[in-house]
């Protein structure tokens, strides 16, 4: 009975966190905020494309765009105008309705997810006090995952409706990739829900006022970093657009503004997953430790801190693209299904036990160890984690030993003509000195073959 009472009190404490208050937000102000978010994403997309080209150019010892506008800042705008003026071609065998609908779905869904991201807390806007957030729900984070699932339809329809083989394969590969990594992403976020006691983005940000969740949920943050790259089809995971295999992937047959919608959706998705990582793991709009005491927290200051954290993740995307090669598709899917999902499941179970012990659900009994009182549940969780790590290490060593035993032995000496054809030796191998009779026979055979070819 006491455990039920403690559980109820913990739930009520989680719901006592101040939720975004939209009582002083008329409908027209919500429309204004929607337009501002749309402009915010468009402007940031224009800047990040220029930023990516300049940074990668610097990494590759070349200037990057530096002609159009000061420092080349207008190059992205010029490329957008050029793309819009290109001929809009529709393949003859395409399903025209689905062919047009696919880029609209992919582009629109990218913007919808940003509606639940709190850019800051309450601000004064046009005479009203309103949260710098379009909307909030008790399950806001699940809304992002649901919208991402709908966005997959854009990739599938784009590949299928093109009426071509390579776009179809690209659409299937992209949808399998996104769906696979959404599972690991959703499991990584469960640890944050357990710590915050809510799935509302505003409540999760407020729950991090004393400690950002990047510290207690460090493994979830690491898994989320991998899945956010796979979710957005970015290098080294842009396998739906493998030029050596599938040309341009699911959007091979697209041109002009339809292609621009896919291009825009990819970059807006980068901002969406980065904003979600900022909200769930880095305290959202809250100032770093030390700056809050100076009064630089909340309000329009919150928008500044949020943007700085957001662009930190964007730099990570650019750095990965300029540094890492593309992986193979089978390696990528193996990483998602055989590594990330099982390990994240174990991590969620461990976090559930840890939270239960912290909230007292597993009893108050303690064990004296080295002069300190340690809760029995904490000791149990630590022991389980240690056993899992030791078991994984043992399984890995056994697998490596099995591979070593199955590896064929390479002789130190090799006869290059043993199979009838000259075979070069491997590194470290020595050539067998042939017997004099064999050498004479080979010379005789070679001479005879030469004379026959001449005759």
User: Residue 449 above 80 pLDDT?
Assistant: no
The pLDDT of residue 169 is: 83
Q: What is the mean pLDDT of residues 218-231?
A: 89
In sequence order, what are the residues at sequence separation of 6 or more whose Cβ sits closer than 8 angstroms to the Cβ of residue 65? 50, 53, 54, 57, 72, 75, 76
CB 224 within 8 A of CB 281: yes
* pLDDT tens, position by position, 270-326: 999 999 999 999 888 888 887 776 777 877 888 889 999 999 999 999 998 888 888
End-to-end CA distance of the chain: 103
pLDDT tens digits along 168-204: 888 888 888 888 888 888 888 988 888 888 888 888 9
CB contact at 8 A, 416 and 433: no
Please state, in angstroms and rounded to a whole number, the distance separating the CA atoms of residues 140 and 120: 16
Three-class SS state of 39: helix
What CA–CA distance (Å, rounded) separates 343 from 220? 10
In this model, does residue 396 exceed pLDDT 70?
A: yes
Query: Is the preceding peptide bond at 236 cis, omega within 30 degrees of 0?
Result: yes
Residues 196, 202, 206, 208: is their CA dihedral positive or negative?
positive
Report the distance separating Cα 288 and Cα 337, nearest Å.
35
Say what the pLDDT of residue 13 is.
Answer: 43
């Amino acid at each position: 009975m006491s455990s039920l009472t403690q559980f109820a009190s913990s739930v009520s404490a989680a719901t006592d966190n101040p939720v975004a208050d939209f009582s002083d937000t008329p409908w027209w102000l919500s429309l204004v905020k929607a337009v501002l978010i749309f402009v915010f994403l468009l402007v940031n997309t224009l800047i990040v494309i220029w930023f990516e080209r300049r940074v990668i150019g610097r990494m590759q010892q070349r200037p990057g765009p530096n002609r159009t506008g000061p420092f080349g800042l207008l190059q992205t705008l010029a490329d957008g105008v050029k793309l819009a003026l290109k001929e809009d071609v529709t393949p003859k065998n395409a399903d025209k309705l689905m062919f047009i609908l696919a880029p609209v779905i992919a582009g629109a869904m990218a913007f919808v997810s940003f509606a639940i991201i709190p850019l800051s807390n309450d601000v004064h806007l046009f005479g009203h006090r309103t949260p710098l957030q379009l909307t909030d729900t008790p399950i806001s984070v699940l809304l992002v995952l649901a919208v991402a699932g709908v966005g997959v339809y854009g990739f599938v329809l784009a590949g299928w409706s093109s009426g071509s083989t390579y776009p179809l394969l690209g659409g299937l590969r992209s949808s399998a990739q996104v769906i696979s990594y959404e599972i690991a992403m959703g499991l990584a976020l469960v640890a944050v829900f357990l710590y915050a006691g809510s799935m509302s983005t505003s409540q999760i940000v407020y729950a991090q006022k004393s400690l950002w969740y990047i510290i207690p949920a460090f493994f979830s943050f690491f898994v989320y970093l991998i899945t956010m790259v796979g979710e957005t089809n970015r290098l080294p995971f842009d396998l739906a657009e493998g030029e050596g295999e599938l040309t341009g992937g699911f959007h091979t047959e697209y041109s002009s503004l339809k292609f621009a919608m896919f291009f825009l959706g990819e970059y807006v998705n980068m901002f969406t997953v980065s904003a979600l990582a900022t909200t769930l793991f880095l305290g959202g709009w809250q100032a770093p430790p030390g700056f809050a005491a100076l009064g630089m927290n909340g309000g329009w200051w919150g928008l500044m801190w949020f943007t700085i954290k957001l662009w930190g993740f964007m730099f990570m995307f650019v750095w990965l693209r300029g540094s890492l090669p593309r992986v193979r598709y089978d390696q990528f899917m193996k990483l998602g299904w055989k590594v990330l999902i099982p390990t994240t499941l174990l991590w969620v179970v461990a976090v559930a036990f840890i939270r239960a012990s912290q909230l007292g659900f597993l009893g108050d009994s303690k064990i004296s160890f080295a002069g300190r009182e340690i809760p029995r549940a904490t000791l149990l969780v630590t022991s389980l984690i240690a056993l899992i790590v030791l078991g994984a290490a043992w399984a890995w060593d056994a697998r490596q030993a099995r591979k070593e035993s199955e590896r064929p032995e390479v002789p130190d000496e090799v006869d290059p003509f043993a199979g009838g054809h000259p075979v070069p030796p491997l590194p470290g191998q020595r050539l067998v000195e042939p017997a004099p009779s064999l050498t004479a026979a080979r010379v005789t055979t070679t001479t005879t073959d030469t004379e026959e070819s001449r005759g």
